Amino acid sequence: MCGIVGVVDRNNLASPIIHEALKRLEYRGYDSAGIATIYQNKICLKKEKGKISEIHEKLDFNKLLGTIGIGHTRWATHGLPSKTNAHPQVDCTNKIAVVHNGIIENFLELREDLAKRHNFVSETDTEVIPHLIEEIMAKTKCDLHTATRRALQKVKGTYALVIICTKESDTLVCARNESPLVIGVGKNANYCASDIPALLPMTRKIILLSDGEMATIHHDKIRIETINGEVEVQPKIVNVSWTPEMAQKGGYPHFMLKEIHEQPHALNGTLMIRPEVINKTANVLNDSEKLYITAAGTSHHAGLAGRYMLSKLSAMQSQAIISSEFSESTANLIDEDTTILAISQSGETADTLNAIKFAKDNGAKIVSITNVMGSTISRLSDLTLYTQAGPEIGVAATKTFIVQLASLALISLQLAEIRGMTDNSEIEQIREELFQTPRIVENTIKKHESLIRDIAYEYAYKPNFLYLGRGISTTTAMEGSLKLKEIAYIHSEAYPAGESKHGAIALIEPGFPVVFIAPHDDTRERIIGNIMEMKAREATIISVADENDYEIKKLSHKMIGIPSTMGILSPITCVTPLQLFAYYAATKRGYDPDKPRNLAKSVTVL
């Protein structure tokens, strides 16, 4: 949450570069934003409440002069979204400016002491940092990086920070502890930001800063050292394969729609993961006595689907636990014989990282699935499998979900082979079908997008929805329901269809929309029964079902037909219509699906 960026450039104005980078980081938070530069020995600052485009229209960020600067887009934790609480935060003398992502846990204590000598204007935890640095620099006459290091030794909490000071108008100082921060190496310019896509138009040469490290960045040199030990760290430059175009809308009105359309490509990329990597992952899982899958949000739904795949294909027992509940629900259960399969597209979700740390402390082995190279999750893991979706910018996860499913299917099939639990010919058939899923998803979009849009437009103003599925389709229903809630702000619930008669059915009245995920698998007969129950109460039935299933078609008011696949792969083929449905419902209601209110893509607070 919160996006930060720093630029030091020898030849160009920093502010327009920061402004563009902030737009690419806006998925991390968008309740206020600001930029500070140094020009003629002064901090020049523009910040305001609102989205970046609204603020820019009002204040024109690009008019800020200076070749060095920092920027921030905020997701409020301490203090309401407001101009005063927006970052950058400055010291009393207006010589030091700071942007921060994370939470300073001991800020009240620090503030109480500093407030005796310093003038605090905001409610943020961040504001203690510029005042601390100001005080240290004034007392000891040290340089910015030394003052920052000393200040950070007093600070408890999580942070990615970038700091500028008029006394050193060619220097960015940045530091990281449990909030993401990368450094970009340019030509006569260097950068830092919360993620790689923010920097792609400027450079693809990236240094991944580790927790507990800080950097002093000039336009032509970068020095990295540990915050506590002052030990110099040799920077390792990674050349990333993501292109700048991947982080742009490419003609689509929203990133979310672009990313839904990119799913066939993302699936193709992920299905090409080297068989050795899949085999190694499957073997680690096979060697464990206890297997827990942990994740948050959409990734948790992939984890739930993974559990069905593992059990059905390879008779592998596992439990899928929401990461924020992990330590509580597995207290006394984790030991050296346990493996954790952690799933996170960003690799930075605090809840998931916390679950991993808890499991590691208790001796478990960590295997992770993530989409972001060098992300924190990969550094905490014994083994990481990288999905190949390219950068995902839309807040609501789409293409990263589908590739998580594909990688879980690859692992489950490999495990089935290792454990000899499924017939070889069946394994081969499912594998072949898995490799057909990019084509199926592509055809579904081509064939049905306008039908789905029409259905979404028709029902976009219904206040409540129910999503039902059986077996693995329950997880597809959960994901479809989450998408509708997240971006269209329509209340919806997902249930195993069989369970609906124990509660949710009480909600049904004439015209209540119920979305059934009903692919042609061995739950079909039963789900037809559930459709009948809802129909008998005059619900409106919208179904995602096999295109040749005339029985379900007859029972449905609207049906989106998908080609039949082996049941276990159905989340991959059934989820796209649900993503498109949510997208068009959101746009019909006038909402921006890329920036749903109160949400952020990467949730780095617990």
The residues that touch ligand G6P, with contacts defined as CB under 6 A, are 296-299, 344-346, 349, 352, 395-397, 599, 601-603
* Catalytic-residue membership of 601: yes
Residue 194 CB, shortest distance to ligand G6P, in Å, is 13
Q: How far is CA 182 from CA 18, 23, 179, 185, 431, in A?
A: 15, 17, 10, 10, 37
Take residue 458 and report the two structure tokens written for it: 């028709």
Residue 82 CB, shortest distance to ligand G6P, in Å, is 23
- Dist CA 364 CA 42 (whole Å): 52
Strand 338-344 to 365-370 pairing? parallel
Residue found by looking up tokens 């696949």 in the block? 565
Nearer to ligand G6P, 74 or 601 (CB): 601
Residue 296 CB, shortest distance to ligand G6P, in Å, is 4
Nearer to ligand G6P, 307 or 601 (CB): 601
Helices marked H in 28-95 — which ranges?
Answer: 52-59
Take residue 481 and report the two structure tokens written for it: 């329901």
Give the residue nearest to ligand G6P (CB). 297
Closest CA to 474 of 508, 500, 456, 452: 500
For residue 229, how many other CB atoms are within 10 A of its CB? 9
Nearer to ligand G6P, 371 or 530 (CB): 371
Sheet of strand 464-469, all strands in order from the earlier edge strand to the far edge: 491-496, 464-469, 513-518, 540-546, 558-562
Handedness of CA 258, 263, 264, 269 (dihedral sign): positive
Take residue 521 and report the two structure tokens written for it: 């698998």
Take residue 448 and report the two structure tokens written for it: 């049905």
Closest CA to 36 of 44, 25, 48, 28: 44
* Catalytic-residue membership of 156: no
Residue found by looking up tokens 């990333």 in the block? 240
Residue 362 CB, shortest distance to ligand G6P, in Å, is 21
Take residue 579 and report the two structure tokens written for it: 């993503």
Residue 326 CB, shortest distance to ligand G6P, in Å, is 13
Take residue 263 and report the two structure tokens written for it: 């799913």
2, 174, 192, 574: the catalytic one is 2
Residue 592 CB, shortest distance to ligand G6P, in Å, is 14
Residue 601 CB, shortest distance to ligand G6P, in Å, is 5
Q: How far is CA 33 from CA 83, 285, 405, in A?
A: 8, 44, 35
CA contacts within 13 A on the Cβ side of 70? 31
Residue 603 CB, shortest distance to ligand G6P, in Å, is 5
**b/e string for 471-506 if b means 16 or more Cβ within 10 A?**
bbbbbbbbbbbbbbbbbbebebbbbbbbebeeebbe
Residue found by looking up tokens 């990288």 in the block? 386
Are the beta carbons of 482 and 491 closer than 8 angstroms? no
Residue 398 CB, shortest distance to ligand G6P, in Å, is 9
Take residue 99 and report the two structure tokens written for it: 């942007």
Take residue 589 and report the two structure tokens written for it: 């209601």
Cβ neighbours for 590, distance < 8 A, ≥ 6 positions apart: none
46, 312, 399, 601: the catalytic one is 601
Residue 344 CB, shortest distance to ligand G6P, in Å, is 3
Are the beta carbons of 581 and 452 closer than 8 angstroms? yes
- Secondary structure element (H or E) that encloses residue 36, with its range: strand 32-39
Residue 231 CB, shortest distance to ligand G6P, in Å, is 31
DSSP characters for 77-96? SSS-SSTTTSSPEE-TTS-E
State the helix-helix crossing angle for 399-419 and 297-314, rounded to 10 degrees. Answer: 20
DSSP 3-state assignment of 466?
strand
Take residue 122 and report the two structure tokens written for it: 């905001």
Closest CA to 421 of 316, 341, 292, 523: 316
Closest CA to 452 of 584, 552, 314, 575: 584
Known catalytic residues are 2, 601
